[in-house]
Amino acid sequence: MPLFTTLTEESICNAIDAANKHVVLAAPGIGGVIAQSLAGAHRRLGADAVQVVLDISARVSRLGYGDHQAVELLRASGVSLRHHEGLRIGALICDDSGWSFASVPRLVEDDPTADGDAFNAIALTAAQVMVLRSELPPVGASTQAPEYPVVGNEVVDEQSVAKVKRALEIAPPQQFDLARQTQVYAALIQFVELNFEGFNIQSRRIQLPKSLPLIASQDRALKERVTTSLKVLDKMEKPKELQDVTQRLEELREAFLVPVGQAGRVMLKSKQKLFEDELANIQNDLDACKEALEKDLQEALDKVVASIVPDLARAVLADPPPRFKGLFSNTLDAAADYVRAELDKAFPSASALVTGMKIHKFYKDVTYETLKNKEFVDRVMSEIPQSVLDGALLQEGVAVKAGK
């Protein structure tokens, strides 16, 4: 008998069905078909002839090592069932034959098939079977075994089964074939949101604080002079350097980010470093532009303050606000100091005006829900060059992950 072999769900069931004396199975989890064979062996060979050790936790079902319904079936059939937290290797003993096998989480890949060379098990010798049995729960009433087996010393009770069932009802396993396909796409592309919150200084309005008496003033010429000065931001044009930044950002978006319909835009993960390098250069230029713009804005704001302080100081003396009367002397210099202090509270700083100029970038991976969108899949296949898809083995990988 070859040492390396393939244990499929079907071959495991065949071995269990052919057993004449006893069956011992230890694995992370099992499906309903194997559970039915174990229940059949339990009826055929007797209550003490079948022992099963599983990790019955909800995580096992979510990873796809097994189905929780199989656990419930074993419990309902009276099969001796034990729990071993974190068990991730499999062992099957049927009479004098035994195998050690690797369990496959269906979240990662589909179960192996018998028509390939994808070995997942090793056939054990008779001596190895005896050693293995000594560390597993005993079968047969007269079997001498350690009081506490190495694997499976926790008996599964109804409360534990019900607790896991409730957990899976709240957060059920994914559809595994779709989840596996998601991994293939996620290795190739990712969503990228890229936008620029830019130059909206003209929309900012400078208003005098209510603590200054201009509104109550009857001097129309004074009002017009101050109002005209306050419109300085309306006259600020978008700097050429900032126009260049926004243009380069748009070119970067068009070069790297592929539109895939309403889902947004995706980028090849292999191009992420190049994308980040170019984006960093744009960010550096934006920072330099903001620094220069902040200086120009501060100079403009300072000129506004300087131009309106004299008029407002005279208005303060003509109609002193309560705070001025309570804290300042009734002189033109004091009135000018009061006006500057009030303007400082009300006027935006140049730094605050340019702070909102930002490049926003956000990465998001392809998800299980994304692949339910047929438009997304079609656009990926049509927008990304075929040579890239072929080189990444995307379609081949999708077919394999889907179990086709």
**Alpha-carbon torsion, ordered 85, 91, 94, 95, to 10 deg:** -100
pLDDT in tens, 7-16: 999 999 999 9
More confident residue, 246 or 34: 34
Report pLDDT for 353: 77
Q: Which domains does the chain have, with CATH numbers?
A: 4-171 (3.30.870.10), 179-401 (no CATH)
Amino acid at 252: L
pLDDT in tens, 287-339: 998 888 888 888 888 888 888 888 888 888 888 888 888 899 999 999 999 98
Q: What percent of the chain has pLDDT over 90?
A: 48
Q: Encoding tokens for residue 177? A: 């074939």
Q: How many CB atoms lie within 10 A of CB 205?
A: 10
Which residues are 92's β-sheet partners? 25, 99
pLDDT in tens, 329-368: 999 999 999 988 988 887 777 787 787 788 999 999 998 8
pLDDT in tens, 146-201: 566 788 889 999 999 999 999 999 999 988 888 888 888 888 999 999 998 876 66
pLDDT in tens, 88-141: 999 999 999 999 999 889 988 887 776 667 889 999 999 999 999 988 988 875
Pairing of strands 23-27, 50-54: parallel
Report pLDDT for 118: 81
Report pLDDT for 141: 55
Cα separations in angstroms, 54 against 24, 103, 152, 245, 315: 11, 12, 8, 60, 87
pLDDT in tens, 234-252: 566 677 888 899 899 999 9
Helices 158-170/68-77 angle, 10° precision? 150
Band (25; pLDDT cuts 50, 70, 90): very high
Q: How far apart are CA 25 and CA 3, in angstroms?
A: 19
Quote the distance between the C-alpha of residue 254 and its chain's center. 25
